[in-house]
Amino acid sequence: MFRKAIIFAGVIGIVLLFGVSVQGYHPRAVHGEILDILPEQGKVRLMTNRGMLILELEPSCLVFRGGQNVTLESVRPIQPGWYQDGIFLLNSSGRVVEVFVNYNLQEEAGFLISYDIFGEIKIMEPLD
């Protein structure tokens, strides 16, 4: 009887361990700078604080900038080093269902300043 209980506990432990390792890292939302878009593949490449990610988009994925629906093609990099950032909402399969894109560029006190979606300064260059 004791041996059966130990075997049963071991099997349950293995199942739980295997279930956790299969799931991996699947956050519900990801923030990152959009390095590249691959519309024909339905993917986008991001730089996040966890490193580079390639996310797969659901065919019904919606992309918004400033509250308006925009095309995926409009979120490409502005120029080398000047990237739009966004928040990517994921479903339970880890695919993107909605994207909220930001590109905020302002001139202030002789500087050209790029802000991220949270209002933090990303890039600050003199206008001269």
CATH of the domain at 115: 2.40.50
In a domain, 4, yes or no: no
Q: How confident is the prediction for the chain on average, in pLDDT?
A: 82
**29, amino acid identity:** A
Residue 97 is part of which domain span? 28-126
Per the structure, how many domains does the chain have? 1
Based on its alpha-carbon atoms, the radius of gyration of the chain, rounded to whole angstroms, reads 21
Asked, for residue 37, whether it belongs to a domain, the answer is yes
Over residues 94-114, the pLDDT tens digits come to 999 999 999 888 999 999 998
Residue 36 DSSP SS3:
strand
Q: pLDDT for 49-63, tens place per residue?
A: 989 999 999 999 999
Q: Are 75 and 32 in contact (CB under 8 A)?
A: no
Q: Does 112 reside within a domain?
A: yes
In a domain, 13, yes or no: no
* Confidence tier at 38 by pLDDT (50, 70, 90): very high
More confident: 33 or 12 = 33
Is 57 inside a domain boundary? yes
Residues whose CB falls within 8 Å of the CB of residue 86, separated by 6 or more in sequence, listed in order: 31, 32, 34, 46, 75, 99, 100, 101, 102, 117
- Give the residue, 18 or 47, on which the prediction is more confident: 47
Distance CA 109, CA 62 (A): 36
Q: What was the pLDDT predicted at 20? A: 41
In a domain, 16, yes or no: no
Q: Does residue 102 form part of some domain?
A: yes
Residue 7 falls inside a structural domain: no
